[in-house]
Amino acid sequence: MARNPGKQYQTAKKQVEAREYQLEEAVPLLKKIKYAKFDETVEIHMRLGVDPKHADQMVRGTVVMPNGLGKSKKVLVIASGDKQREATEAGADFVGGDDMVTKIQSEGWTDFDAVIATPDMMRSVGKLGKVLGPRGLMPNPKTGTVTVDVVKAIREIKAGKVEFRVDKTGIIHAPVGKISFEAGKLVENAATLISAVIKAKPAVAKGKYVRSATICSTMSPGVAVDTTPFSVKAAAS
């Protein structure tokens, strides 16, 4: 059984030409070469011409996918007083205050996909850096997850809000939907993400900003994507 997926992967790879595809070509190709029996996640990987060791070259941000991600994220809200009630009414999966901080600390509990905290709780939430930080779950004002407007934050995350952040090797990895999505919806989501990353270009970044971009599903080979149209559009706006 172990050899079969390898053969299927190689068969899929042979259908991908060694060139950059327009996004509108790449997505249908990805759907055509799909062979996994589950609904794979489609991801974009972008190698950037930045050095993330320098704070002024860090690339990060958030973007709401216009067509969602095909999966509803489990949201934890750490708040106090009326904000807990607002969070519950807005559809948060888990709501609490210091009790949630204690649960994460003592039990190592991380059965959630996103964490929102109100500013007054950040003194307590700050203790969770070692647990939440490595998982990319630490609330941050820059990504809208430290806020008094918990209702808006919950709705955005549930609607398909994606946080992107360049890793230490200069690459951004982010989901843009499921392989079962209509091609047009995947194209729109992927275009939204690519545009957001290009708009987040640091002022100090020199040379070619997007070195390469690839779209792939969980099991598929990558398909190189031409990001030039997005760069031209961003420069014109």
Structural domains for the chain: 17-69+161-236 (3.30.190.20), 77-158 (3.40.50.790)
Residue 235: partners with Cβ closer than 8 Å, 6 or more residues away? none
Query: Per-residue pLDDT for 232 more than 80?
Result: no
User: What confidence tens digit (pLDDT) does each residue in 150-173 have?
Assistant: 999 999 999 888 889 999 999 999
User: What confidence tens digit (pLDDT) does each residue in 24-44 have?
Assistant: 999 999 999 999 999 999 999
Three-state secondary-structure class, residue 94? strand
Alpha-carbon distances of 215 from 2, 72, 189, 224, rounded to whole Å: 25, 22, 12, 7
Query: Per-residue pLDDT for 5 more than 60?
Result: no
- Position of tokens 């969602």? 68
Alpha-carbon distances of 195 from 25, 61, 132, 217, rounded to whole Å: 18, 12, 28, 20
User: What confidence tens digit (pLDDT) does each residue in 91-109 have?
Assistant: 999 999 999 999 999 999 9
> What does the pLDDT average to over 219-227?
94
| Cα dihedral value 28, 30, 34, 37, nearest 10 | -100
pLDDT-above-70 percentage for the chain: 96
Residue 171: partners with Cβ closer than 8 Å, 6 or more residues away? 45, 46, 47, 48
Q: For residue 2, what pLDDT is reported? A: 40
- Rounded Cα distance, 95 and 76, in Å: 6
Which has the higher per-residue pLDDT, 2 or 16? 16
Q: Are 179 and 30 in contact (CB under 8 A)?
A: yes
Amino acid residing at 70 = G
Q: Are 180 and 69 in contact (CB under 8 A)?
A: no
| Residues shown for the chain | 237
User: What confidence tens digit (pLDDT) does each residue in 66-93 have?
Assistant: 999 987 889 999 999 999 999 999 999 9
Give the strands of the sheet with 171-178, arranged side by side. Answer: 171-178, 41-48, 210-217, 223-224
The pLDDT-based confidence of 1 (bands split at 50, 70, 90) is very low
pLDDT-above-90 percentage for the chain: 79
Residue 113: partners with Cβ closer than 8 Å, 6 or more residues away? 73, 74, 75, 137, 157
